[in-house]
């Protein structure tokens, strides 16, 4: 029930005492979810007293009426709460394990909040353009599952509703309960290490984390056993030594068996190698001043060189463009049983469905560089609240959705389906997330999240993020063997910095604007 219309029992009694509330009003309050409505009914009881007087021998009868007021308390059973808002939710979780979890979550939300009907609007992978058109036209949904770059692009133009104050009013809000991925649904300008993953959520907030992605390695135990390769263990899994040696040992190109499945996206494979092999380990992708792609500086280039060598020199990985050739009917090379070391982004539900019980597999510890285990990448993709909710006055109802989807009911279901990584910390203390397959899913994520402060994210706090992010597409020629690693790095840096320098004025204006917002 809307707080502005909410009335305490004491307020109701005060009204009825003055005769301001009738039976129809009492029923209306019950429909809004009051657990008890007290209705005071005045009953008039007439007591007739007959006396007899004799006056001048004339007999007359006098009748007096004595009025007694009797209060009668009637309890009215609380009925269903009235519909307060219909919320449109734009989402791309329509199939696979993520779609399964979303269908279930929608059913549970309808049971818990029948007064907040949800209109689920499927959206495709082109949402950057399609949803942007809707934002321009003012036809967008009140809530949408979006990425950091899109959210930051539309905050300053007023496309999203800030929700800090409303979140603080909610009884379920505790900013320490979730892993924190900055600059996705809050704006923090997280451009330096250490990462705030274990810190409370803070900063101007425009949505709430829903699904996580924490990158790492998956391991084919059956292939390892057949090749005489032991399971990697912490402290003896050097990236440039043990990892490369075992990957080469597992490779039999003629049989279509490979030590590693590479990916061109830096967050999924070689980004961690760049940071893990750099001389300092303090660099992020983009420099703090917003002008330079710095991840290859201070020795970070060694990580990218290693990735290119895995394909063209040491040849324990196939070119990413050839992944379909080794996927067969199983959807990807690792699920087909053709790869010793695969990659994951937290979501392994698709692998679970494709692999079934054909072979034994699980998550393993990250390889190690000169400073220890290489860092991974963590994001917490949000449900964002658009200005459609603010304009319609339905922000409070939208927040019920945000916290329900980020809460224990739905996050435990995500742990079951494993389409992504749960974002609620307490889920990692339960048994559900550790139920195989795969092995070590919960325990490895706990180590990667609770014990690390060097996770990188996508640095979404830039109004031209999607234009800037095109830099990693410049890695394609290097992976294809069309140019050297050095040439590929030069191409990526040039592509990145050209955008950063051309948009620096907008970046500075955005940073100044964010500083004016309450949090």
What are the DSSP calls for 326-375, one per residue? GTGGGSSTTTTT-EEEEEESS--HHHHHHHTTSS-EEEEPPPEETTEEPP
- Residue 417 located in a structural domain: yes
Say if 162 falls within a structural domain. Answer: yes
Are 422 and 415 in contact by the 8 Å Cβ rule? The answer is yes
Indicate whether 118 belongs to any domain.
Answer: yes
Closest of 124, 197, 151, 134 to residue 378, by C-alpha: 197
Token pair, residue 473, equals 């597409």
Q: Are residues 401 and 365 in the same domain?
A: no
Secondary structure letter of residue 78 according to DSSP: P
* Stretches in the chain below the pLDDT threshold 70: 1-81, 84
Distance between CA atoms of residues 92 and 408, nearest Å: 22
Q: Does residue 203 sit in the same domain as residue 221?
A: no
Q: How many CA atoms lie within 13 A of 451 on its CB side?
A: 10
231/368 same-domain check = yes
Sort strands 339-344 and 216-220 into parallel, antiparallel or unpaired. antiparallel
pLDDT of 20 reads 33
Domain for residue 455, yes or no? no
Within-domain flag for 343 = yes
3-state class of 241 per DSSP?
Answer: helix
Residue 80 has a pLDDT of 61
- Asked whether residue 388 falls in the same domain as residue 415, the answer is yes
Its pTM stands at: 0.83
Give SS3 for 369.
strand
| SS3 call for 174 | coil
How buried is residue 437: exposed, middle or buried, by Cβ count under 10 Å (0-12/13-18/19+)?
middle
Query: Do 129 and 367 meet the contact criterion of CB atoms below 8 Å apart?
Result: no
Q: Answer yes or no: do 426 and 288 share one domain.
A: no
Q: Is residue 466 part of a domain?
A: no
Contact 204, 482 (CB under 8 A): no
285 & 325 share domain: yes
Question: What's the pLDDT score for residue 279?
Answer: 95
Q: Are residues 70 and 94 in the same domain?
A: no
The three state secondary structure string of 159-170 is CECCCHHHHHHC
Strands 216-220 and 361-364 turn out to be: antiparallel
Shared domain check, 107 and 175: yes
Identify the helix (H) or strand (E) that includes residue 66.
Answer: strand 58-75
Total domains present in the chain: 3
Residue 28 confidence (pLDDT): 32
Q: Which two structure tokens, joined as six digits, stand for 325?
A: 């050739």
Q: Which residues contact 314 (CB under 8 A, 6 or more apart)?
A: 244, 247, 248
Q: Are residues 160 and 227 in the same domain?
A: no
Structure tokens belonging to residue 238? 């050097």
On whether residue 235 sits in a domain, the answer given is yes
Measured CA to CA in angstroms, residue 305 lies from 274, 311, 464, 489 at distances of 9, 10, 28, 9
Q: Answer yes or no: do 32 and 91 share one domain.
A: no
Boundary residue ending a domain (415, 450, 485): 450
| Total residue count of the chain as it appears in this document | 519
In a domain, 459, yes or no: no
Same domain, 234 and 333: yes
Residues 273 and 313 in one domain: yes
Which CATH number does the domain housing residue 255 bear? Answer: 3.40.190.10
Domain enclosing residue 435, as ranges: 87-212+381-450
């Amino acid at each position: 029930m809307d707080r502005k219309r909410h009335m305490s029992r004491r307020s109701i009694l005060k009204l009825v005492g003055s005769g301001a509330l009738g039976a129809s009003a009492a029923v209306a309050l019950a429909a809004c979810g009051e657990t008890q409505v007290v209705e005071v009914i005045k009953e008039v009881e007439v007591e007739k007293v007959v006396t007899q007087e004799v006056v001048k021998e004339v007999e007359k009868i006098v009748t007096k009426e004595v009025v007694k007021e009797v209060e009668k308390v009637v309890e009215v059973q609380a009925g269903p709460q009235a519909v307060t808002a219909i919320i449109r939710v734009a989402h791309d979780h329509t199939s696979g394990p993520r779609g399964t979890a979303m269908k279930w979550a929608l059913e549970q939300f309808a049971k818990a909040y029948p007064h907040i009907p949800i209109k689920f609007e499927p959206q495709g992978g082109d949402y950057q353009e399609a949803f942007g058109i809707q934002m321009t036209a003012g036809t967008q949904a009140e809530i949408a599952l979006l990425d950091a770059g899109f959210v930051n692009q539309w905050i300053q133009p007023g496309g999203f509703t800030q929700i800090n104050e409303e979140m603080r009013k909610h009884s379920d809000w505790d900013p320490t309960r979730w892993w924190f991925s900055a600059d996705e649904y809050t704006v923090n300008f997280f451009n330096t290490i250490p990462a705030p993953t274990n810190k409370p959520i803070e900063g101007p907030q425009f949505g709430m984390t829903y699904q996580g992605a924490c990158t790492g390695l998956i391991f084919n135990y059956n292939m390892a056993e057949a090749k005489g390769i032991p399971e990697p263990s912490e402290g003896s899994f050097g990236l440039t030594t043990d990892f490369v040696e075992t990957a080469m040992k597992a490779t039999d190109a003629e049989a279509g068996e490979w030590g590693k499945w590479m990916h061109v996206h830096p967050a999924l494979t070689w980004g961690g190698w760049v940071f893990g092999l750099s001389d300092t380990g303090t660099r992020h992708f983009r420099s703090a001043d917003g002008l330079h792609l710095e991840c290859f500086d201070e020795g970070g280039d060694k990580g990218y060189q290693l990735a290119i060598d895995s394909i063209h020199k040491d040849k324990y990985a196939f070119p990413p463009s050839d992944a379909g050739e080794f996927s067969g009917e199983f959807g990807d090379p690792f699920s087909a049983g053709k790869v010793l070391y695969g990659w994951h982004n937290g979501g392994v539900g698709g692998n679970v469905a494709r692999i079934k019980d054909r072979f034994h597999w699980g998550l393993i510890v990250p390889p190690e560089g000169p400073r220890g285990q290489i860092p991974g990448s963590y994001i917490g993709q949000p449900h964002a609240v658009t200005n459609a909710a603010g304009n319609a006055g339905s922000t409070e109802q939208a927040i019920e959705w945000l916290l329900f989807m980020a809460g224990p009911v739905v996050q435990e279901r995500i742990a079951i389906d494993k389409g992504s990584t749960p974002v609620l910390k307490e889920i990692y203390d339960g048994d559900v997330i550790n139920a195989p397959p795969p092995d070590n899913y919960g325990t490895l994520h706990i180590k990667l999240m609770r014990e690390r402060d060097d996770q990188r994210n996508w640095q979404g706090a830039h109004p031209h993020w999607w234009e800037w992010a095109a830099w990693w597409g410049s890695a394609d020629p290097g992976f294809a063997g069309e140019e050297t690693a050095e040439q590929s790095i030069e191409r990526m840096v040039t592509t990145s910095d050209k955008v950063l320098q051309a948009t620096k004025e907008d970046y500075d204006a955005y940073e100044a604007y964010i500083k004016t917002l309450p949090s």
